Amino acid sequence: MEGFVSKLKNLDAYPKVNEDFFQRTLSGGIITIGSSIIMLCLFLSELSLFMKITTTNELSVDTSRGDQLLINFDITFPAMPCEWMSLDLMDISGEMHLDVDHDVYKRRLDQKGMVIPDTIEKHKVGPELDDKLKHKSNETECGSCYGAAPEDECCNTCDEVRAAYRRKGWGFTDPQQIAQCAKEGFMEKLRAQEGEGCHMWGSLAVNKVAGNIHFAPGKSFQQGAMHTHDLVPFEGLTFDLSHNIDKLSFGQEYPGMANPLDRVVVPKFNTRNPQGLTGTFQYFLKVVPTIYVNSHNHTINSNQYSVTEHFKVSYDYHTQLPGVFFYYDLSPIKVKYHETRMSFLHFLTSVCAIVGGIFTVAGIIDAFIYHGHQAIKKKVDLGKQI
């Protein structure tokens, strides 16, 4: 056992020196303090790099199929009443949703932009007015649909007549000639909201193909291959389509996500429309599919986009529909962001390199200064001062 211990001692790479042979100097103390400060600074710098999360990105071709695109919006129209506005959605596949009312919220605003109490509306899935058409067999009173629906369907309210007209692709030309509308005071209610604003927000799940969503006055309907908005009830009125885009995003949000249209304010008088004329605000969006993977390998599928703006004056509502249009198209390129951080072994290796390197360099400097000082002192003692 003693022989093994003796052999083990011979392997000691750090032979001990008797303290009687140590000599402490002022330069050595200064170098020790300086090197310790440098070590501490570099250690803190390395620690901050270890704690910091960096994001790398890579590009690839988007090969996904059959996915849906989630559009989140939050838009305020300070001078357009909720009753005047409709939201439509259509894409190049031919799918069309007119006067969308599913997962959409509306809130009326007064002329000062304050919320009118108890006016938040949550629309349910599907065109609810179309579902309200009742059959004659279930009703004691059955109002006429004026030829816009089969004979066994009833239209007892103005909204039900309008829904029947919309399904048929007819324009709602003269509300005063519709008994239900005249009885309910449809035109009076419509004009009574003049000067109000509207706050609209919600989410829409659409096909992952190019398309557009637009906010425009009047109820929309499809007449053959033509998309039309019924503006007859607003004859003689002008539309102020100034708007504030509080939020417009595609998909789930991820850390660092930047949407160029968020918090965009477009007043009535702006650089593109200095005269404040009624017109069409067009936003052309290029949507880029994006995948975000955080440091815990949690994946978020989302999208980012770029935008180009255009404004066109609507001198004739019959040829140029006023409104706010968002045209979106999908990019074939997909972006993937991946959060990474330095491993603990890498951090430990860097710390050891910092401590060992500075300790070695400080030792070399100290030895150089010490031996230089000793050589000069020896020459002075021999009377050979330089």
pTM: 0.73
- 3-state SS of 219-250 is EEEEECCEEEEECHHHCCCCCCCCEEEEEEEE
Domain extents in the chain: 22-52+344-381, 59-340
| DSSP conformational letter for 251 | B
pLDDT in tens, the chain (386 residues): 777 777 777 766 666 666 666 677 788 888 888 888 999 999 999 999 888 888 888 999 998 887 889 999 999 999 999 988 999 999 998 888 888 878 899 999 998 889 888 656 554 333 444 444 444 444 457 888 888 888 778 888 888 887 888 777 777 767 778 888 888 887 788 788 888 999 999 999 999 999 999 999 988 877 777 788 878 778 778 899 999 999 999 999 998 899 999 999 999 988 888 888 899 999 999 999 999 998 888 999 999 999 999 999 988 877 788 999 999 999 999 999 998 888 889 989 999 999 899 988 888 888 888 888 888 888 887 775 54
* Neighbour tally for 267: CB within 10 Å: 12
DSSP string, 98-138: SS--SSEEEEEE-TTSPBPTT--EEPPSS-HHHHT-EEGGG
Q: How far is CA 273 from CA 240, 265, 267, 268, in A?
A: 12, 13, 9, 8
Residue 136: its pLDDT value, please?
42
Spatial distance between the Cα atoms of 227 and 247, rounded to a whole number of angstroms: 27
Q: H/E element holding 56?
A: strand 54-61
Q: Strand order in 104-109's β-sheet?
A: 121-122, 104-109, 197-207, 68-77, 243-250, 264-266
Token readout for 340 is 């990474």
Residue 384: its pLDDT value, please?
57
| DSSP conformational letter for 29 | H
